[in-house]
Structure 1
Amino acid sequence: MDRLLRQGEWPSLEFYDANGQSQILRGPHLTWTGWKYVEFAVPQGVSYPLKLRRFYVAETRGDAKYTSQITIDRLVARVPPSVQAPPVAKLADPVVKPAVGAMPWRFAVMSDAQFVARQPDSDIVKNARRTLRELKAAGPDFLLINGDLVDEASPEDFALAKRILDEELSGSLPYYYVPGNHEVMGGKIDNFKAVFGDTTRVFDHKGTRFVTLDTSRLNLRGGGFDQIAMLRDQLSAAAQDSSVGSVVVVFHVPPRDPTPARAASSVTGRRRPSSRGGWPTSSAPPARARPTSARTWARSTPPTWTRCRTSSTATRARTRPLPPTTAASPGGRCGAWTP
């Protein structure tokens, strides 16, 4: 694979696993010219078989302006030998319920619509509107929008998001919008704040305290240490408050992502910090498992300088919100909390 010195995008392979979930593999930063053999590590826990969707390069620096050409050759997959794995006992989470209709009260969760204002009538927008209508019809107490409602974080994107929420919810279903990485897309959070206000919130509902945090930089530290101190204060206060029986902490990017998508959630810069148990004082890069890999050869030509975009129609086309009663739906689902 050939690329340009002083640039450094991330080569990326996107594929679908056996569950139809999009997974993204990241290779080393492209900082060379000429041919090079590149390996993409497949993390543990992926459901096989895998179906390759596309190759692309990702750049998270908003001020980076360049373009070039990449030539790919000899894409191969290296897989481990087949083995007979021992049976795994099924685990049941007592918090997860097969149905929520009989719960004392309910709240809904929606995320990752990722629509853009320049396509206000796209299928993605239609799916987001449908999901909002289904959530409203389900009658939850309120809605948590857990990040990535928009795709490119432009002022026009947020204006469209506000219009869609106003039109579909009609003010009858309260909502709280928690920013994700697509609410900044390498820029500032200002466009989000101009329309939807604070990036963190604290509110109580029927004996449960909700704390929302900002992980728009793909980690808790990127949202500022003040929010971590705030979380600690709120947890301490809730422990002393007899009216608070439980606490829910909400943010877009988990501090420890147990899924194979962890590598895809790490597009935040040249270092990949991790969160430790306890209150953070320092961090270190996490270890990466490499059970299998996909490799390719590619070559690029010298650059001409222009603006580089990281999003695409293909990226946005993957979002398919499902009905709110579907527990595994990535686009919209109903949740329940029993205090």
Structure 2
Amino acid sequence: AVIGLETHVQLKTKSKMWCGCAYAFGSDPNTNVCPVCLGLPGVLPVANEEALKKTVLTGYLLNCSIPQMAKFDRKNYSYPDAAKNYQVTQYDKPTTLGGYVDFEFQGGMSRVRITRAHLEEDVGKNSHLERFSGVDFNRAGVPLLEIVSEPDMTGAEMAYEYLNALKDILVYGGVSDCDMEKGMVRCDVNISVRPKGQKELGVKVEIKNMNSFSGVRRASEYEIARQTKVVTSGGKLIQETRRWDDVAGITENMRSKKQAHDYRYFPEPDLMPFQPTERWLEEILKRVVELPLAKKQRFIKDYQLPASDAQAFVWDQPLANYF
């Protein structure tokens, strides 16, 4: 099996991406909104500098390169939770490129390469009630970081460990609280299977909006088994988007998978390209902390601690920072 992950992480900022609205989880519906996040005619976005700083900081934490110029684009689609009928994201010139995450797996070290980490805005939240559906736009415009991995994972367990390592880095670096219960981390899982020895990737199936790491593990295990069964019995897989039914423990078809041209990307005309200066980047570089894995390895080497004790120290961040 081959697995790649797109991880959407809510950045730790006090206000939204393009306006001054606060975001607080659990607020009454549609109380933290303004003409900008509701997409009313004539409004202009203003970029949240702290979100840009945290995006670049994430790039440094994940060993990415920071291009001299990035830009924002409109991703056009018509869903009830997208008030503007488009989402501001980054298409071909993201804020960070390349990179990798190293983590412990099955007694050794593994590395998953990062394709890119780009900044985008969240959309509203649909609620389906008995006789009608409602949309809460409190979440619309909240800054999200989408971290796209290469298809380097070979199984469900490896994907699970990668996600845990990624979460540790982001929390340690102060980029995000990664509170799963508040929906701060959501994953799209791309899975394909291929015969042993074949280099060419198989047909990709995407499982959308996974909101727990254990769910990613279970859904991946099920989907790998499902695809393997289809292929070995002579059937053909189709490129599609599926959803995970946690209660039934199965994936179900949602829709055929959209291609990039379906979204008619074009540059966001209301936002200038992002061109950070060397001085600005140097200030962010000062905020880079020692990562959890490096800290653990240092404690084992310098203080001769057993791995389990070193891990316990690492989890207590104020105490670990003392050393």
TM over 0.5: no
* Structure with greater contact order relative to length (CA < 8 Å, sep ≥ 6): 1
Which TM bucket (shorter chain)?
under 0.3
Q: Could you state the TM-score of these two structures normalised by the residue count of structure 1?
A: 0.23
